[in-house]
Amino acid sequence: MTSKGFRVSKAVIPAAGLGTRFLPATKAMPKEMLPIVDKPVIQYVVEEAVAAGLSDLLMITGRNKNTLENHFDRVAELEQVLSQKGDEKKLFSVQASNQLADIHYTRQGDPRGLGHAVLRAKSHVGHNSFAVLLGDDIIDSRDACLSQMLKLHEETGDNVVALMEVPKEQIHLYGVASIGAQDGDVVEVIDLVEKPEADKAPSNLAVIGRYVLRPEMFDILESTQPGRGGEIQLTDALQHAAKHPEIAGGVRGVIFRGRRYDTGDKLDFIKATLRIAVDREDIGDDLRDWLKGFSKEL
């Protein structure tokens, strides 16, 4: 395949998780709809994919996720009311989410793990390389990561994962890479393990929720047996690719050093809200002032 063959236009966004860490808020609402300031988490993720040039998105959803589809659809009555009122700012914010990209949906059915969710994208993706963006992770738009990964994939034809250095006490929450040759922030990944105990982790480099994969990864996923937690793990399929690069290409990592928020975690969710809110034009200055006073109360 020429480098043109590794050009990516499709992204898969797994969004079928139950969001149990945010109960009771997520009892009747998908966790992806929790807002950071005034925009649902999932919209940040969709905007990131679009900003990296990906225009064809497939969301893997599940039961009780209809609001995701509603959010990215038009609401003619609302648009009409805002337009009659002449409230262009709000009208634009309502229209923005349904004009972002061509978004498709499929359901995961049985919740059998991230690898299984990605496998549900097989027929939509076809014989093309594709990106995977996990809905829980938000990468700050000021610190782009995906575009660098896509470029590396186009140049090398290898699968690419985003990696981040994380403290030892958090490493058990992630897929962790064992690395070989390093060139700046680009590394060769020689092994991966899903959620190891801190003492057994091969490094402090965790896979954060951004991947660029070759279509042959679907074949590997199809024969990947349930792993950690009895689920079909994407990490295990990538481990197989790293060890057998002749099947689906090797695996490389891009070490990301920017701002990333795990919105699946309560504390990180609040940090993300604050980090994003203090830079907002409408409320940033007032919030900064208030925070300065508030920090003295602590």
Give CA–CA dist 155/153, Å, rounded.
5
Minimum CB distance to ligand G1P smaller for 115 or for 250: 115
Nearer to ligand G1P, 139 or 287 (CB): 139
- How many Å apart are CA 106 and CA 247, to the nearest integer? 27
Give how many residues touch ligand G1P by CB under 6 A: 13
**Residues contacting 266, CB < 8 A, separation 6+:** 21, 22
CB of 63 to ligand G1P, least distance (A): 18
Q: Does 166 bind ligand G1P (CB under 6 A)?
A: no
Between CA 236 and CA 202 the distance in angstroms is 15
134 near ligand G1P, judged by CB under 6 A: yes
First to last CA, the chain: 59
> What is the spatial distance between Cα 262 and Cα 272, in angstroms, rounded to a whole number?
8
CB of 282 to ligand G1P, least distance (A): 30
For ligand G1P, which stretch binds (CB under 6 A), given 66-74, 86-94, 201-209, 286-294?
201-209
Q: How far apart are CA 45 and CA 140, in angstroms?
A: 10
Helix (H) or strand (E) holding 131: strand 130-133
208 binds ligand G1P (CB under 6 A): yes
Spell out, one character per residue from 110 to 129, where the chain touches ligand G1P: x when CB under 6 A holds, - when not: ----x---------------
58 vs 201, which CB is nearer to ligand G1P? 201
Task: List residues near ligand G1P by CB under 6 A.
Answer: 114, 134, 136-137, 174-175, 194, 206-209, 233, 235
